[in-house]
Every structure is written in structure tokens, then in C-alpha cells.
């Protein structure tokens, strides 16, 4: 694990050569591609070429070269790579743009909410650094599947590509797209009706007024990113497909969303509402935004299964510190919840 002190030392070593931010990340990305013999796509190659030019200069500093190489070599799951990205590229804008990553302990439990199924097609429509896709791969090991990552930010798609290629699982097929999910292009539209599972931590509560394709919640007056994510997910999923996503707590708690909740329950089974404690994004961004995990299953035709049950849970502890006073956390309510046999039966896991 990369400590803040090491990141600061690396930052000041690069500064001595006049490089910072994206330049540092590009040079580090180049080292990853070298050490893990990564065959890059055309877009990622552009990033790596820039990184090579910089690394040829800064790695005249032998000590810096050794330090970075040692952290890269042991980073077989790409965890340090994501930390490098967040430190050098995202830290200046993540709080205002909402580009913060899902903490790994939460992603791990969200992935467990997908019943394992050979040849499943799984998409993260706002994949950032590929946390969810990487976690599916860790948990599904030898199960063949198709992983699809989409993000409007080209640089993040390059990061996802690197993360997934560091330790490629040959059982999986990967597609990476750069569509704006609020104006889905033909790339993403080609997956409409083809997806088994969606994992998402989309931007929260962004006003959106530009959606062009027909969208049920949008047309009902919910002109924001949360409603559009649900509408897009409905289009992407096969009947019976599952959406596991983080959404702002207001969707569940606020009166103004009552109509949205009623519309959603016409098309979907509400399988779980898991209220997370305040502070879950403290480790990846300094925001206190409240979020819930919502699990929705797309109904098949107009059928109504009256025996379906919904999990409602309120989580108070997770495997991450929720504020700066909390140093060590010993309980993980979310992990314990999924171990409960009634809960796993409802989720079908």
C-alpha cells in the first residue's frame, strides 16, 4: 500500500525535473506497461509514449527509478496504480467533478450481490479506474464473462485498460467504450438488451437537460443523472438482469422522489436498499455525501412475482475508516449482512 509520504517524495522528485500531475502519471503508466509487458490499444499507446519521453529524463535519478519500480512490480492487482492516478491526476478536481472511486471494500460486497453465471455480460457505465470490473475478475476467477467498461473520460478508460491488463484473466473478454451515458452513442446502444449485470457508482444528482433518447423517469420530470442512470440501465439489461448501484440517499428518503420510486417499481423488482453510513467516500474523496446501495432486478414482461422479497438494511460499519478519528475498524456490517442466509437467498447468491 502506498503511504502519503511516499507519494509526496515521488512528487517532489519529479518536480525537480519540472514535471507534475498528468506527466508524472504518464511516466508511471509507462513503467507499468514495461514491467507487465502490456500490449496497449492505440489510445493508451499515446499516453505511454508521452510517459516514455518523461521517464527517459527523470529516471536518470536512480533512486527514484528504484522506488517506483519496487511499487510497480508488486502491484499485481493494480491497486497502487489507481492510488497513483488519484494522487497525481484526480486530487485537484475530484471533489467538484464527482470523479472519486468506490472504496474497494464496498466494491467487493457489491460484486458479491451478482449471482455468478458463466458467460455473463457485465457493464460499469461510469467505470472510472475500473474498480468494479477488476473486482469481478478477482472474485469470478475462472468463470468466463464479458466485462464492459464505459467512461466519458478518455484518460480514465486508459487507466481501466491498464488495470485490467496488468493481470489479464484469459477467461474474460473486455470492451472499453467512451460514451456519454446521458447521450448514448451507437457504441453503447449496441449493448441495449444484451447485459446481464450492471455495477455502477455514477455521478450523483447532476441536473441533466440534454437527454435525447426516450426516457421514462426523465419524461416524468426527473431531469437528473440519478433518474437517467436508472433509465439507461433498463435499456441495457436483458429481462431478469440486475442493477447494483450506489445512488444518493435522497432517492430513498426524500418525498420529492416518491413518484420516481413508484415508477421504478412498475418496471423493476426492488431487491435491496442498503443504507450506508456517512463518510464512506472519506478515503477516496473528502466528501460526506450519503449513498445507498440499490439492487434492482428488471422485470420479465409484465409478470409480477408476489413472492419477491426486499432487503432493507442500515449499515453502520464497513472495512474503511469513516472519519479521521477512526483509525482501525474491526466490524463490517455489510460483509456480515451478505453472510446471512435469508439475505443471500433473496439475492440469489
Binder of ligand SAM out of 35, 116, 152, 346 (CB under 6 A): 152
Indicate the residue among 132 and 197 with the shorter CB distance to ligand SAM: 132
Indicate the residue among 204 and 269 with the shorter CB distance to ligand SAM: 204
User: What's the closest the beta carbon of residue 93 comes to ligand SAM, in angstroms?
Assistant: 10
User: What's the closest the beta carbon of residue 305 comes to ligand SAM, in angstroms?
Assistant: 30
30 touches ligand SAM (CB under 6 A): no
C-alpha 101/C-alpha 112 separation (Å) is: 18
DSSP run (H or E) holding 344? helix 341-347
Q: Which x/- pattern over 44-63 shows residues binding ligand SAM (rule: CB under 6 A)?
A: --------------------
Binder of ligand SAM out of 75, 124, 161, 231 (CB under 6 A): 124
User: What's the closest the beta carbon of residue 261 comes to ligand SAM, in angstroms?
Assistant: 22
Region binding ligand SAM by CB under 6 A among candidate stretches 201-209, 215-223, 237-245, 306-314: 201-209
Pairing of β 172-177 and β 237-248: unpaired
Question: In the numeric block, which cell numbers belong to residue 64?
Answer: 527514484
Indicate the residue among 198 and 237 with the shorter CB distance to ligand SAM: 198
Return left, alpha or beta for 295; rule: phi > 0 is left, psi -120 to 50 is alpha, else beta: beta
Indicate the residue among 54 and 188 with the shorter CB distance to ligand SAM: 188
Indicate the residue among 218 and 269 with the shorter CB distance to ligand SAM: 218
Closest CA to 122 of 232, 237, 225, 201: 237
Sign of the Cα torsion 40, 102, 199, 192 reads negative
User: Strand, coil or helix: what is 246?
Assistant: strand
Indicate the residue among 24 and 246 with the shorter CB distance to ligand SAM: 246
Region binding ligand SAM by CB under 6 A among candidate stretches 10-18, 137-145, 180-188, 322-330: 180-188
C-alpha 76/C-alpha 100 separation (Å) is: 22
143 touches ligand SAM (CB under 6 A): no
Of residues 256-315, which lie at the interface with ligand SAM (CB under 6 A)?
none
Of residues 80-109, which lie at the interface with ligand SAM (CB under 6 A)?
98-102
For 14-33, give the DSSP string.
HHTTT--THHHHHHHHHHHH
231 touches ligand SAM (CB under 6 A): no
C-alpha 241/C-alpha 264 separation (Å) is: 15
DSSP assigned state of 257? G
156 touches ligand SAM (CB under 6 A): yes
C-alpha 5/C-alpha 200 separation (Å) is: 32
User: What's the closest the beta carbon of residue 255 comes to ligand SAM, in angstroms?
Assistant: 26
Residue matched to cell numbers 450519503: 290
User: What's the closest the beta carbon of residue 42 comes to ligand SAM, in angstroms?
Assistant: 20
Question: In the numeric block, which cell numbers belong to residue 21?
Answer: 500531475
Residue nearest ligand SAM (C-beta atom): 128
Residue matched to cell numbers 447494483: 244
Interface with ligand SAM (CB under 6 A), residue total 22
CB 209 within 8 A of CB 132: no
C-alpha 306/C-alpha 348 separation (Å) is: 16
182 touches ligand SAM (CB under 6 A): yes
Binder of ligand SAM out of 51, 78, 128, 248 (CB under 6 A): 128
Closest CA to 317 of 131, 102, 139, 106: 106
151 touches ligand SAM (CB under 6 A): yes
Q: Counting every residue, how long is the chain? A: 349
- Phi, psi angles (nearest 5°) of residue 183: -140, 70
| Residues at the site binding ligand SAM, with contacts judged by CB under 6 A | 98-102, 124, 126-129, 131-132, 151-153, 156, 180-182, 201-203
Amino acid at each position: 500500500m502506498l503511504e502519503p509520504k511516499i507519494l509526496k517524495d515521488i512528487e517532489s522528485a519529479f518536480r525537480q525535473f519540472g514535471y507534475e500531475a498528468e506527466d508524472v502519471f504518464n511516466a508511471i503508466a509507462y513503467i507499468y506497461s514495461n514491467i507487465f509487458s502490456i500490449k496497449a490499444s492505440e489510445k493508451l499507446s499515446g499516453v505511454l509514449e508521452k510517459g516514455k519521453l518523461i521517464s527517459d529524463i527523470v529516471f536518470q535519478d536512480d533512486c527514484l527509478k528504484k522506488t517506483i519500480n519496487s511499487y510497480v512490480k508488486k502491484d499485481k492487482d493494480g491497486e497502487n496504480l489507481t492510488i497513483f492516478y488519484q494522487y497525481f491526476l484526480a486530487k485537484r478536481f475530484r471533489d467538484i467533478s464527482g470523479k472519486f472511486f468506490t472504496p474497494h471494500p464496498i466494491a467487493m460486497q457489491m460484486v458479491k450481490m451478482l449471482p455468478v453465471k458463466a458467460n455473463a455480460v457485465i457493464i460499469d457505465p461510469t467505470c472510472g479506474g475500473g474498480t468494479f470490473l477488476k473486482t469481478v475478475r478477482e472474485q469470478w476467477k475462472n468463470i468466463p464473462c464479458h466485462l464492459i467498461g464505459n467512461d466519458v473520460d478518455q484518460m480514465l478508460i486508459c487507466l481501466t485498460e491498464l488495470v485490467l491488463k496488468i493481470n489479464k484473466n484469459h477467461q474474460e473478454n473486455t470492451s472499453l467504450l467512451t460514451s456519454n451515458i446521458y447521450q448514448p452513442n451507437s457504441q453503447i446502444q449496441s449493448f441495449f438488451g444484451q447485459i446481464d449485470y450492471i455495477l455502477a457508482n455514477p455521478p450523483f444528482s447532476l441536473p441533466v437537460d440534454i437527454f435525447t433518447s426516450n426516457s421514462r423517469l426523465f419524461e416524468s420530470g426527473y431531469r437528473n443523472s440519478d433518474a437517467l442512470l436508472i433509465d439507461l440501465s433498463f435499456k441495457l439489461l436483458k429481462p431478469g438482469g440486475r442493477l447494483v448501484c450506489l445512488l444518493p440517499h435522497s432517492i430513498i428518503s426524500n418525498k420529492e422522489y416518491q413518484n420516481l420510486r413508484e415508477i421504478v417499481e412498475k418496471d423493476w423488482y426492488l431487491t435491496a436498499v442498503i443504507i450506508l453510513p456517512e463518510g464512506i467516500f472519506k478515503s477516496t474523496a473528502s466528501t460526506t455525501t450519503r449513498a445507498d446501495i440499490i439492487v434492482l432486478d428488471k422485470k420479465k414482461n409484465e409478470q409480477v412475482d408476489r413472492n419477491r422479497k426486499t432487503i432493507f438494511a442500515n449499515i453502520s460499519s464497513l472495512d474503511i475508516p469513516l472519519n479521521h478519528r477512526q483509525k482501525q475498524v474491526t466490524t463490517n456490517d455489510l460483509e456480515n449482512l451478505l453472510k446471512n442466509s435469508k439475505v443471500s437467498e433473496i439475492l440469489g447468491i
